[in-house]
Structure 1
Amino acid sequence: MKGDPVYRGVIRVFRVVFRMLGLRFTLRGLDNVPTDGPAVLACNHLSYLDFTFVGLAATHRRRLVRFMAKQSVFDNRVSGPLMRAMRHIPVDRASGAAAYRRAARAVAAGELVGIFPEATISRSWELKSFKLGAATLAVREQVPLVPVVLWGAQRTFTTDKRYSFGRGKAITVALGAPIVAAPTDSPLDVDAELRRRMQELLDAARRDYPDVPTCADDRWWLPASCGGTAPSLDRAAELEAAATARRAARNTARA
């Protein structure tokens, strides 16, 4: 973790924020993050703070993660300069090949690259369908693929303007054993194995999670499969499509 003064400064700021919020972290499988050399960390997506939680786990191994994030985050006048200074990787969905090349260069340089295979936050809190980028990068560049899951992150700051800065929330970060793919492996097969392992980690994180809803209205952060009021995967997909359409309409109106 030598160098990277901006990144290290951001880490210090978030550690203070985490203490102020009284977040209670459970970090599992930290030894699955290599202490040196490249790897791809593939994580589920529950909140806007997910990269900070995964990054926190990596710092326990004295590593920094270069996350792939949507181009709009880099275009923002506040977050953009910070993202570039921390050497994160912009993803323009109209030109995914450029993002792949940057990620490939990062792992070739011995970096950890963080990817959210679902691409967007899951409103159902279940695993959505995965993009193949993480599996493809692991196979083509011959680097370990580390499955990561978060649980409880959705209770902090997530989509649809849901956020809470109440103190004491529990956050679980669980990392599984790396998948080491052969050059001849199919990215589809590796992706299926990644999803299987992430589902196992997620099931365990939910089962062992120390907090429970405080009332009926507080069941929103539980998926329907766990007795919560979050939308089903199908309904969540409809909500996401509607939100995407609204954003497109706003962008068209501004143009």
Structure 2
Amino acid sequence: MAELVYPPVIATARAWFKALDLRFDIQGTEHVPRRGGALLVSNHISYLDFIFTGLAALPAKRLVRFMAKDSVFRHKVSGPLMRAMKHIPVDRSQGEDAYKHALKALDSGEVVGVFPEATISRSFTLKDFKSGAARLAQEARVPLVPVALWGTQRLWTKGHKRDFGRNHFPVGIRVGEALHAAPDESAAGLTSRVRERIQDLLESAQRAYPGTPNGPNDKWWLPAHMGGTAPTPAEARAM
């Protein structure tokens, strides 16, 4: 079936990126499979992360079907768009339906996007990962492609006003080599491997990041361990 909505949405996003004068540092897009089912597994630091994770799949000419909370699908504006782009609603009280939906998409050769932290990390460090992505990969026999994002939190994240001005914010995107479940590997073990790989990619993106705080009051987007004023992981859990 022809994709009537997704390509125009991508074109609009690209025009928006240009208007914002965003600068991208993207590496590793060759690791996204050009055909067949796959899971893109990313860290989560911004409300816009699905856009940037999807951007990483475009060189492979793949469209990503993201798993997102069902409230987004109930919104009068975003709902019709999400359904038209074949994203996958997740009702956290009935997660099995979303799991089956994602499994069907993977079996049909789609790329599915997952944020295993489930919610945005207020500390901008990796939270604990849910094991659902690993279980999906094992059952569908598809690879897990790790993705790390950095800088997206400066645009719009939890607890801070969105900033869509022409601030020339850099955005770092790192894609790692696909991971495959080892024979008899547990979902917990595979989840741990994916998390470790995303941590490595995140640190790589942070080291290469050219952006610096614009004064002492602009350190909120940096984690505490990097000298920023973001909550520590323990403080973020308490919040």
TM-score bucket of the superposed structures, by smaller chain: over 0.9
In 1, the alpha carbon distance for the partners of 2:165 and 2:210 equals 16
- Residue 77 of structure 1 corresponds to 76
Look up the equivalent residue of 2:165 and give its one-letter code: G
Matched, 1:31 2:30: yes
* Cα distance, 1:60 vs structure 2: 1.5
Matched, 1:58 2:57: yes
- Residue 139 of structure 1 corresponds to 138
- Residue 207 of structure 1 corresponds to 207
Number of residue pairs aligned between Structure 1 and Structure 2: 238
Unpaired segments of 5 or more residues in structure 1? 240-255
SS at match of 1:163: coil
- Residue 194 of structure 1 corresponds to 194
Matched, 1:113 2:112: yes
- Residue 127 of structure 2 corresponds to 128
Matches within 5 A, 1:1-255: 3-167=2-166, 168-182=168-182, 184-239=184-239
In 1, the alpha carbon distance for the partners of 2:36 and 2:63 equals 11
Moved over 6 A (4+): none
Q: Is the 8 A contact 1:118 1:127 kept in 2?
A: yes
Deviations 1:186-214 (A, max 9, x none): 00000000011010001111111011111
In 2, the alpha carbon distance for the partners of 1:29 and 1:136 equals 24
In 1, the alpha carbon distance for the partners of 2:100 and 2:183 equals 18
* Cα distance, 1:157 vs structure 2: 1.1
Deviations 1:189-242 (A, max 9, x none): 000000110100011111110111110111100000100000001111122xxx
In 1, the alpha carbon distance for the partners of 2:3 and 2:182 equals 33
* Cα distance, 1:185 vs structure 2: 1.5
Identity %: 52
Unpaired segments of 5 or more residues in structure 2? none
Look up the equivalent residue of 1:195 and give its one-letter code: R
* Cα distance, 1:184 vs structure 2: 2.1
SS at match of 1:158: coil
Look up the equivalent residue of 1:213 and give its one-letter code: P
Compute the TM-score of the two structures, normalised by the length of structure 1: 0.91
Compute the TM-score of the two structures, normalised by the length of structure 2: 0.97
- The structure whose residues are more often helix, as a share, is 1
Look up the equivalent residue of 1:234 and give its one-letter code: A
Deviations 1:153-196 (A, max 9, x none): 00001111421123210001101011111352100000000011
SS at match of 2:145: strand
Range moving further from structure 2, 133-142 or 116-125: 133-142
